[in-house]
Amino acid sequence: MGREDPPPQGNPTIRTVAMPADTNPAGDIFGGWLMSQMDLAAGNVAALTSGGRSATIAVDAMIFHRPVKVGDEVSLYASLIKVGRTSMVIHVDAWRRPRQSDKSEMVTEANFTFVALDDEGRAVPVTSESP
């Protein structure tokens, strides 16, 4: 299941707090909310890498290891793992830290594929290979 190792070194791409409005009837955070936060983190890396606009075209290998609870701090770590001619694959790990604890655990991971776009929404070559 989720790893209880320390989170990755460095600053997260995004850090947020899970709020009550984002829960299902059981009190856990909706997977869709977490996926959207992961997409935002991957999008930051895609924008830096492409030098402009980009769009999500696929999400692969999404694994929900553990639930996220209301009040948890959620840290999202995104890293570029592959650059194609017009596409980028970005791996995102989501980690939770309960408010009253200093221990984190990985809760979700996935690979997001983005395509670089021009102003008209057409695919264009990626201009750089590192964020």
- φ, ψ (nearest 5 deg) of residue 100: -95, 15
pLDDT-above-70 percentage for the chain: 93
pLDDT in tens, 8-27: 888 999 999 999 999 988 88
Separation CA 63–CA 74 (nearest Å):
16
pLDDT over threshold 70, residue 118: yes
Separation CA 40–CA 48 (nearest Å):
13
pLDDT in tens, 45-55: 999 999 999 99
Q: How confident is the model at residue 4 (pLDDT cuts 50, 70, 90)?
A: low
Listed residue (66, 57, 50, 72) closest to 111, CA to CA? 57
Give the N- to C-terminal CA distance of the chain in Å, as an integer. 30
Residue with the larger pLDDT of the pair 27 and 120:
120
pLDDT in tens, 83-115: 999 999 999 999 999 999 989 999 999 999 999
Query: Greatest CA span in the chain, whole angstroms?
Result: 47
pLDDT over threshold 80, residue 7: no
C-alpha dist (Å) from residue 32 to 29, 37, 52, 116, 122: 8, 9, 26, 24, 27
